[in-house]
Amino acid sequence: METKRPTNPAAEEVLGGYFPVLDHGFVSLIDYMGTDEDIERAARVSYGYGTRKQSQTRGLIRYLRRHLHTTPSEMIELKFHCSMPMFVARQWIRHRTASVNEYSGRYSLMPLLFYLPERENFALQSDLNRQGREGNSASTNVYGEAVRRWEELRDAAAGGYTWMVAADVAREIARIDLPLSTYTQWYWKINLHNLFHFLTLRVDDHAQWEIQEYARVMAGLLKRVAPLSYEAWVDYNLCGSALSFGELAALRSLVEPTEEGIAAREGVEALGKEALAGHGLSGREISELQRKLDPVERPDFDLDLGRMRSPEDVAAEMEAAVPDIRPDSGES
């Protein structure tokens, strides 16, 4: 039966497909409600159905995004099925604007899948960022020793868990020593406005690399559901920057409005740090203003459809990782 719901062919192409993230994780768009046109219908609630051109829809969506009119974008919702290491899930759940249902280790057996960072993503603690890693990889020797210790710990944790569930220890107790590298999964439903906020923070270079990888895939899925809204988000939020009162005052001292547009003020030299401080900017604010004016590369977040997996393949991998606790499994 043909649906009467608004759909997007690009989203339908990937709906229910699973995109790998990290070594055992994934993101899948399970369902969505609404497209770009629904934002316009919500904003122009008195207008009839399908009365506008795409160029007009694009103009309105960009106006709404530019001027922070966010409620129309709450009319679109996306539902994801995701699997991630527990330490990523603990960061992710900080965004308290979604409906979440997580895999229950009290009810179901935990798949014994553990995240192992690849060599190029393994680094020492940053001297400049207390919650981040250095840009360069750590030495091969340090990485090798870390992997050895991780494997030793995980083998012990997996063995203990398997023994306890085979001995009929309550699953809610048997799971308690599984490490943060263990993969969990959940269904995560969120409206477009709150998804934009999540993605703005989590595709940023300052976010932990592992959660960036999930956010990039989700941005690619969003691009297929609501491409005009995605474009406005990239332009105004991801690649754009808000300016403070002091920053605007500093820029006004360099340019002036004219009937034709904006022109440079005559005889004005480039603003040094002393002049910027005169506009009330601290040293850190000056550094941030300088970064805001740096050229920005516009991302596209396009998905590689060749990597998309079927639900059956993913389910089989998860099932194979569940401990075998049958009487003839060799456990006692």
What type of residue sits at position 157? A
What are the DSSP calls for 29-40, one per residue?
EEEEE--HHHHH
Clarify whether residues 39 and 66 are in a common domain: yes
Clarify whether residues 187 and 284 are in a common domain: no
What type of residue sits at position 21? V
Which residues lie closer than 8 Å to 67 by C-beta, 6 or more apart? none
Task: Please give the Cα distance from 236 to 240 (Å, whole number).
Answer: 5
Clarify whether residues 204 and 288 are in a common domain: no
Clarify whether residues 226 and 252 are in a common domain: no
Task: Please give the Cα distance from 291 to 280 (Å, whole number).
Answer: 18
Count of domains observed in the chain: 2
Clarify whether residues 183 and 228 are in a common domain: yes
pLDDT tens for the chain, residues 1 to 332: 788 888 999 999 999 999 999 999 999 999 999 999 999 989 887 555 555 677 788 999 999 999 999 999 999 999 999 999 999 999 999 999 999 999 999 999 999 999 999 999 998 888 877 778 888 888 999 999 999 999 999 999 999 999 999 999 999 999 999 999 999 999 999 999 999 999 999 999 889 999 999 999 999 999 999 999 999 999 999 999 999 999 998 888 888 878 778 888 776 667 788 888 888 889 889 888 888 888 889 998 999 999 999 999 999 999 999 998 776 544 44
Clarify whether residues 194 and 254 are in a common domain: no
Residue 268 is assigned to a structural domain of this protein = yes
Residue 132 is assigned to a structural domain of this protein = no
Q: 185 lies in which domain range? A: 9-115+179-240+304-325
Residue 235 is assigned to a structural domain of this protein = yes
What are the DSSP calls for 94-108, one per residue?
T--SSEEEE--TTTS
Residue 254 is assigned to a structural domain of this protein = yes
Residue of 65, 73, 74, 105 lying closest to 89 (CA atoms): 105
Whichever domain contains 309, its CATH number is 3.30.1360.170
pLDDT of residue 168: 94
Tokens 């799971």 belong to which residue? 175
pTM: 0.90
Clarify whether residues 213 and 273 are in a common domain: no
Task: Please give the Cα distance from 5 to 32 (Å, whole number).
Answer: 10
Catalytic residues: 202
Clarify whether residues 190 and 278 are in a common domain: no
Clarify whether residues 100 and 48 are in a common domain: yes
User: First and final CA of the chain: distance in angstroms?
Assistant: 53
Clarify whether residues 195 and 100 are in a common domain: yes
Residue 146 is assigned to a structural domain of this protein = no
Contact 228, 243 (CB under 8 A): no
Residue 330 is assigned to a structural domain of this protein = no
Residue 166 is assigned to a structural domain of this protein = no
Residue of 46, 106, 111 lying closest to 85 (CA atoms): 111
Residue 49 is assigned to a structural domain of this protein = yes
Clarify whether residues 207 and 281 are in a common domain: no
Clarify whether residues 221 and 250 are in a common domain: no
